[in-house]
Every structure is written in structure tokens, then in C-alpha cells.
Amino acid sequence: MDTFDFNRLLCEVDHSRQKRTQLTTLVIKNPHLIVRLFTKAFEVNDPMSSRACWVLEFMAKERLEYLLPYLDDFIPKLAQFHLDSSVRPIAKICEYLTKSYFSKTENETQKVLKSRHLGAIATVCFDWLITPQKVAAKAYSMTCLYLLGQEINWIHPELKLILEQGYHLGSPAYKARARIILTKLAKESSKVQ
């Protein structure tokens, strides 16, 4: 499949689960296409970048291990994503990565994800949490930061402060996720005392 054909297929991807799943399945069956997907995703000012991000998110859900060889290119570029329709799936990929990393079941993510990656994810998640982003990106960021705070000591106090300060301004969905995270933080704090 040449670049033109791949881009044509990417143009056909829309918000529907069916279209995203079709291209995700094609990429999973043809892993060499992952490079093209990342290349398009990294064209962050092009609206087509968002479509590539949607497919990357579906791929991460199905086969997270396919993304692992690209983490050294992907993670340093997280802060470059700025279109709302790209930030949400990228934040979800970060959530998949952190959940996998902190899983009790040994997995490949735990071997590949390094402290520099975790730090970069924490930085971008804090940025998404304190800047005007859609609620989904903020919710995924809360989950990432809560998990990352289990390994990076300074995160939980900062996360608690930000959630408490922004709670009254948040949407109902923001407040719901913030309540869950604040409850978890309170339980952990009581264990320490």
C-alpha cells in the first residue's frame, strides 16, 4: 500500500467506531503501516492528524505493544498536540500506557517505559489539566497523574491542589472524575498517617 492509498483510507475515517476499527484492523494486520500512522499524527497542524490519532488510540486499546517501539519518538512530542480532536485520543493513549505500566500483571510496557517517559507523561498531563481542554482529556490526565504519583512523590500533592482549586469550575463530568481521584488520594493519605 503506498502513501496515497493509506492517506485516502485515513480520509475516510470519521468519528464512527466502525471506520476507526476498519483502519485499525488494517494497521494491526500490516504493522509496517504504523510508521505512516505516526508520521501523519505528528503533522499536528493538519486536521488529518486527528484521524491518525483516533486510529492510534484504537490500536493502543487493541495492541498496546505495537506502540512500544515508537515511545522514544512519540512521548517527547506529546506536548505538540493541540487540536482538541487530537488531544483526547493522545491523552487516552497516555492512560493506556500508565495503566499498563502500573498493572499488577507483568507486561512489556513495564520493561519499555522508562522514568524519562513517565516524567514527560506527567508534565503533559499537568498541562492538559490546567489549560483549557475538553473534559475527556482532563479526566484521562487525572487518572494518569494519580497512577504516576505512586512512583513520583511530588505528583499527588500537586494533583490534589489542582483538583481542589478547579473543582467548583468544572463540568459535571470533571467533578465526577475529580471526586474519584480525590477520594483515592484521601485514602492513601490516611494510610500514610
pLDDT in tens, 92-130: 999 999 999 999 999 999 999 999 999 999 999 999 999
Q: Where does the pLDDT of residue 2 fall: very low under 50, low under 70, confident under 90, or very high at 90 and above?
A: confident
pLDDT in tens, 22-33: 999 999 999 999
Q: Does 109 or 9 have the greater pLDDT score?
A: 109
Q: What percent of the chain has pLDDT over 70?
A: 98
For residues 163 and 180, give the distance between their C-alpha atoms in angstroms, rounded to a whole number.
11
Cβ neighbors of 47 (< 8 A, separation 6 or more) are 83, 85
pTM above 0.75, yes or no: yes
C-alpha cell at 62: 487493541
For residues 46 and 136, give the distance between their C-alpha atoms in angstroms, rounded to a whole number.
21
Contact 78, 120 (CB under 8 A): yes
Q: What percent of the chain has pLDDT over 90?
A: 90
Mapped onto helix, strand or coil, the DSSP state of residue 149 is: coil
